[in-house]
Structure 1
């Protein structure tokens, strides 16, 4: 019995000593550092991007994986919140707790400027496309973000369908409506003339935002830019856009599930020849993987007023900024330096089917012949980025959802826009 007790005490004491040594060793050799292992030198960077379609996301994921393979001590926790991006970033801005790397999606200076690190000391800056200089830099020389690509937005169309039914890419809004009606009739309703992934309010935001430029800005007899900038615009002329969108729905020119359709459905429907037009630039790679015979084209936004001209809507598209208070600024800048290499610039431009933001690489862009065809068409900035207070994107898009669901009539859409416009202007003035 005494032998048993002695053995038990010996084992107990030994176990305590071993546990104590194990705990000491653990505390000395490893620890938490923002998701990284301090002992192994790992750092985890948070990254938020607005990329939504599968091809764009695949391109970003591929580049992130390559970076992590080359920089084994840096991990990237990436997020693609799609329609929730702006609301999530607003919460993070309010808490002053931004991602290490984030997409400024058109607001590099006006919305996110105070949160971005100055990148002017980086080598890639000398290759910044001159057309983007005023967007990404200020008079003091600060560079707010890195341009992954640049936008020339208008309409994407299924060239096979337009050719089959003898429809020319429309130059005016009236011609656009005629084209939609022709496609509906000639296809016996088998092809959706104008398709929306309206489960995300941004789909309708694109329609209102891009068509607002020829409606309210570019025609000299219908230029409301001063009124929009000084806050005196009364919004009655805007009613044309919701009226036409509702007319499209009533004439069955939109997809019947316009309020519930999701972005990922677009690729397959284009490959199946079920869509004629969308208000977005569609990555061709994913479509042709499903159907190599599919040909897509892009065109500027049609003119609205008689004597008006078409417009590309463009500027900043996907970007990467560094949060000025990031705990890992050098690692975050290392990622941007990595994606500024010519081969990665080319990969991202081709993967997103958009022109690169740097001049150090030549990308084989599927839509380049169309950009060349319309090279004389002016590129206008996004309407909301210049003429609307911050925060208008969401009400602009949700108003479209409410219109097609019957919650608002066209006049109600304009009234909602007026109320939100006034509220946000007053909010900006009080800050």
Structure 2
């Protein structure tokens, strides 16, 4: 009997201790009655956010690809203003950098995505099944004519708000071109002629193009953009055969040869295989480099070396007779809403706040890129260029539309091997064909 009473008392004491522990965790161990059952507090945790008056805050997670501190600050600043107007909502940012795609792939597999996230060029193709339709949002009808085909499907679904529209062409040293009386080229032949003038007239002091085999995305950028000029932009093009899987990959050898010719003629920096992308802004600022294939994101680094250097942007030249210039582009920075998110209405509310003209202008000035909505004013060093070339065609990045996932790495690495002399243009074409077929079937 005594043994049985001892066991009952032991169970009773254990149960009491468990209840005490639960009570302490619910109060966060502080005795503050404002704590929630899961240990979260309702106090201010964001810039400009006010107390919500007692209830738990709704927390929105926002993922973005940028590693640029100025862009991050702009995002957080706009979100801070949003939280002032909506003190019951807390916006929490994550900037995973180079791990962004891997993290999002894991989250897609688990169907556990952030409330709001950056689609970085893959709104329809990669993330389409996970994104809410934003076609009924008040800003949706104001998407620019160039971005609309990229983020709106044939059924009218709007996948994301494009904060910044990418327009990659050729970024150039305007001071260098002015010194040698060179007008921005419109054809590839004119670009080669300009490169020859720069090389010879400067006595070899100017390298027309800078590329990096270490950061081989610069080599890939040349191939990807000029693949559009060669295969997509002309009236007679290979767009459908690429989509159907019937493209004649022998044609890629012609593009590879164009890149190899730049090296053989001395138009690319001699240390292309060992140079780093971080070497480029200093050389550009010193007037030793004229052309960079791609966008203007490095301009601030140039101005840290010499604030007086004038950086220009122009469309990519044509490569086929009779064709016009073009930009490669689409989504640069976006905000889309996870369709299965627990706070979808609040997510849409945040996106609508970003879509306000004053916030779109603020973000455009931070990124130095055109906004994805019409009639958004901006005042930065490239505004005049984007206004000047507003009518130039913008094509989605070649690899995002016409190549299976994984081909970008093939382009970059094999392009570097081409410049190293490890593969020929025809071997490059053969590699593209075999990898295209392998990855397309996965």
Q: Same fold (TM over 0.5)?
A: yes
Unaligned runs of 5+ in 2: 1-16, 44-55
Q: How does 1:24-423 map to 2 (within 5 A)?
A: 25-26=27-28, 30=35, 37-40=40-43, 41-42=56-57, 45-51=60-66, 55-57=70-72, 59-60=74-75, 62-64=77-79, 66-67=81-82, 73-82=89-98, 84-196=99-211, 198-220=213-235, 223-256=237-270, 258-259=272-273, 266-283=280-297, 284=299, 287-288=302-303, 290-359=305-374, 361-374=376-389, 377-423=392-438
What SS is found at the alignment partner of 1:171?
coil
Q: CA deviation at 1:278?
A: 0.9
- What TM-score do you get using the length of structure 1 for normalisation? 0.81
Distance 2:73 2:58 in 1: 23
| 8 Å CA contact 1:32, 1:38 repeated in 2 | no
**For residues 22 and 232 of structure 1, do their structure 2 counterparts lie closer, same or farther at Cα, with a shift above 3 Å needed?**
closer
Deviation at 1:195, TM superposition (A): 1.9
**Whole-Å separation in 1 of the counterparts to 2:70 and 2:41:** 35
* Residues 93/251 of structure 1: CA separation in 2 closer, same or farther (3 Å cut): farther
> What is the deviation of 1:162?
0.8
Residues 203-212 or 151-160, more deviating: 203-212
Deviation of the 1:154 alpha carbon = 0.9
Q: Aligned partners of 1:407 and 1:88: how far apart in 2?
A: 34
Q: Could you list the per-position Cα deviations for residues 345-383 of structure 1 after superposition, in whole angstroms to 9, with x for gaps in the alignment? A: 001112212211123532225334334544554333332
CA contact (8 A) 1:205 1:400 kept: yes
Q: Which runs of no fewer than 5 residues in structure 1 stay unpaired?
A: 1-15
Whether the 8 Å CA contact 1:55–1:285 is kept in 2: the answer is: no
CA contact (8 A) 1:44 1:77 kept: no
Q: 1 CA distance for matches of 2:60 and 2:276? A: 29
**Do residues 426 (structure 1) and 441 (structure 2) align?**
yes
Distance 2:27 2:69 in 1: 45
Cα distance in structure 1, aligned partners of 2:320 and 2:122? 29
TM-score, reference length from structure 2: 0.79
Q: In structure 2, do the counterparts of structure 1 residues 291 and 175 end up closer, same or farther at CA, with 3 Å as the change threshold?
A: same
Aligned residues of 2:147 and 2:372 also touching (Cα < 8 A): yes
Looking at structure 2, the residues matched to 250 and 29 of structure 1 have their Cα atoms a distance apart, in angstroms, of 71
Which residue is 1:13 aligned to? none
Contact 1:146–1:319 (CA<8 Å) still a contact in 2? yes
Judge conservation of contact 1:54–1:264 (CA < 8 Å) in 2.
no
Distance in 1 of aligned mates of 2:432 and 2:66? 26
> Deviations along 1:53-78, whole A, 9 cap, x unmatched?
56545544544555566666514232
Contact 2:150 / 2:396 at 8 angstroms: preserved in 1?
no
- CA gap of 1:165–1:329, structure 2 versus 1, over 3 A, is same
Determine the C-alpha separation between the residues in 2 that align with 1:176 and 1:204. 17
